[in-house]
Chain A
Amino acid sequence: MVQGAKLSHTAALILQAINAGFVYGFSIMEMTGLPSGTVYPAMRRLERDDLIRSQWERQSIADAEQRPARKYYRLTANGKATLETSRKRYPLLERLIPSEEVKQV
């Protein structure tokens, strides 16, 4: 995707959530209030457009904590730039999901 291209509000919300530290699907759903049927396909599209990147955590970590390994998402450089553009378009994004909130947790 071309840097700074226009994103839908939902996609921008997901980018903002990932940027704020909600780095896996269920936490993004909880934070944004978007349903499962929207969030996961949207994240696949963002990944296809090289705005986010996913990575499975190491199985050894998951085994040590006796839980299934989970898939983490993070913004790419393209994604960060696009999020900056989207923040100008959707000024309420930062109020909906402030980055500081996560950092304090």
Chain B
Amino acid sequence: MKPLTGWICSKLEYAILRCASLLVPREQRGEWLREWRAEMWHAREAMQIGPERTWRTEAGIFNFCGGAANDAFTLRRLAWEAADAHPGFHGSAAECLLVLSLLFGVSYSLSRVLPGVRAESHPTLYKVNPNLIMIQNAFASDDSLATIPLDKYRSWKSWRQRYFDGFAFYRIAKETAATGVTGTRRWKVAHASLNLFWILGLPIRFSTMTGDDTGRTPGVILGEGVWRKDFGGDPHIVGRMVRVGNRSSRVIGVAPAGTWRLPGDVDVWLLEPDAENRGVGFVIAHLTSLGETLMSSTRVEITDSTSDDAQEELCGVSFAARTKGPWGFYKFTMLLALLALPAITSVSLGENNFCSYMPSWSNRLCRWIFLIAKVGLLLPSVYYLSLDVAYWHTMTYSIRAQYVQLIVSFVMGLFGLRWVLLDQRNRCPVCLRRVTHPAQVGLAGRTFLAWNGTELMCAGGHTLLHVPALPTSWFETQRWLYLDTSWKFLFASSSAG
């Protein structure tokens, strides 16, 4: 064996011993590492024939090091068993709250790091002007379908309206764009009326226009994704000419990521006069005070009289659902989870006992505080974890991310609350430690003759918990048996509680 190979083997062997020692309880670590090293030297002496190192010797030494790792695992297992035998922190209420706090800490930290979550959590993103509705064909199956022809929008706009004092239109098309920086691109372009951003009240970055200009000047508003990807996030982008389709337009600003909540995934908005637009699109209308009174619900029916006296059924859809934000969805899913909870577990806290003995009021208060603390740590963890999962790969708002958030927060909320109740039912009412050592009692075949179920005990020696295998009329739910001081001698660590 070459000297360099031998040197590498030695380093590896010491590294294995060092790693193995990390598994050994801290107070014994130094002693064990010293003994392993000494023994390894003697093992090498015994195995090595002659002054030269051989692969056979090194294999034997590696085998010895593997044994050291086994020693460490054995010691770690014994330490865990010892911890179980002498309950202290393990299974206690403090451990439970610590784990939940860690979960909350991790989920919150992730939400601060993930750009998608940070963008979505910004409250200004989903603020649009009030009193807006989107007008659609009443028979459209999906509000993401464009249903209003441009001519109809023009005619509404030209007539004096009682319920609306402003309209905006947009349609989405894929166009080839020449940026002058990265060549040609295919963008999803929203061909919009000049007043679209003004009527919605959406912010535009780098724009030097006043509110009135925003509704009058034609130009291109870039989405933040396009601005970063195709223009390198250039802060002096305003004024640059880009070619979208067959026409050149001037960039007038950048729409911050996550602000666009209307139907359609859009890369850029081409604001152009209505005369240059065409096709079928979406119409946003601003309500007058009279319209606001009559159309306060999330969906209202609108009848449009056409020029030949025929009537067309339309509907006005509120923006409330689209501008809800993650907090709104979270509240909705938590409400659903609370309603669904009784379907998957009993909502009882299982505090029945065999006699009239009641724990002291301070014990009962502690039990309630513990329950509230668990729920208080679980709910924000669910909120942040659902956001972390939904926006893990997504930088901005998307319908898909919202669905993911809905599903994740519902599932985690439902099963999290179920766990909270199950955990609470399995904690000693006196010391809040989880009851352990389950023992099957009785025979299932004799359910109607005698009690059968599971008995668990508090390691602190305070209580026994009897859980029936099959609820019967005389033993429907779990019951606690409070142990008096005459039982203390059986529990070596009763003071641990």
Please give the residue numbers on chain A whose beta carbons come within 8 Å of chain B beta carbons, in ascending order: 24-26, 29-30, 35-38, 40-41, 44, 67-71
Contacts and interface: CB of A to CB of B under 8 A. Distances in A.
22 contacts: A24-B42, A25-B35, A26-B39, A26-B43, A35-B67, A36-B64, A36-B66, A36-B71, A37-B70, A40-B32, A40-B35, A40-B71, A41-B74, A41-B75, A44-B75, A67-B41, A67-B45, A68-B38, A68-B41, A69-B38, A70-B38, A70-B39
B70 A71 contact: no
A40 B164 CA distance: 87
Contact of B67 (A30, A36, A67): A36
Contact of B78 (A30, A35, A41, A71): A41
**Which among B35, B42, B69, B70 has the greatest number of chain A C-beta atoms within 10 A?**
B35
B73 interface: yes
A79 to B, nearest CB: 19
Interface string B17-44: 0000000000000001001011101110
> 10 closest pairs, A vs B, by CB?
A36-B67, A37-B70, A68-B38, A41-B74, A70-B38, A40-B71, A26-B39, A37-B67, A25-B39, A68-B41
A35 B41 CA distance: 17
Contacts of A38: 70
A71 B68 CA distance: 16
Contacts of B66: 36-37
B46 interface: yes
Contacts of A40: 32, 35, 67-68, 71
Interface string B62-102: 00101111110111001000000000000000000000000
A70 B34 CA distance: 9
Contacts of B43: 26
B67 A70 contact: no
B415 to A, nearest CB: 39
B302 to A, nearest CB: 79
Contacts of A71: 35, 38
B46 A36 contact: no
Given A24-B42, A44-B75, 10 more contacts: A24-B39, A25-B35, A35-B70, A36-B67, A36-B71, A37-B66, A37-B67, A37-B70, A40-B35, A70-B38
A48 B39 CA distance: 21
Contacts of A36: 64, 66-68, 70-71
**Which among A35, A36, A44 has the greatest number of chain B C-beta atoms within 10 A?**
A36
B45 to A, nearest CB: 8
Contacts of A37: 66-71, 73-74
Contacts of A41: 71, 74-75, 78
Contacts of A30: 46
Interface of B: 32, 35, 37-39, 41-43, 45-46, 64, 66-71, 73-75, 78
A70 B64 CA distance: 16
Contacts of A69: 38
Contacts of B73: 37
Contacts of A24: 39, 42
A67 B71 CA distance: 23
Nearest to A44: B75
A41 B66 CA distance: 14
A26 B36 CA distance: 10
B37 A68 contact: yes
A10 to B, nearest CB: 13
A95 B26 CA distance: 40
A67 B78 CA distance: 32
A70 B40 CA distance: 10
B42 A26 contact: yes
A41 B37 CA distance: 16
A68 B66 CA distance: 20
B80 to A, nearest CB: 14
Contacts of B38: 68-71
Contacts of B46: 26, 30
A44 B32 CA distance: 10
Contacts of B64: 26, 36
A38 B35 CA distance: 15
Nearest to A35: B67
Given A25-B35, A36-B64, A41-B78, A70 B71 contact: no
A85 to B, nearest CB: 25
B53 to A, nearest CB: 17
A11 to B, nearest CB: 14
A26 B75 CA distance: 18
A8 B78 CA distance: 17
A69 B74 CA distance: 25
Nearest to B68: A36
Contacts of B67: 29, 35-37, 40
Nearest to B65: A36
Contacts of B71: 36-37, 40-41
**Which among A24, A38, A41 has the greatest number of chain B C-beta atoms within 10 A?**
A41
Contacts of A26: 39, 42-43, 46, 64
B42 A70 contact: yes
Contacts of B78: 41
Contacts of B37: 68
A36 B64 CA distance: 7
B257 to A, nearest CB: 56
Contacts of B45: 67
Contacts of B35: 25, 40, 71
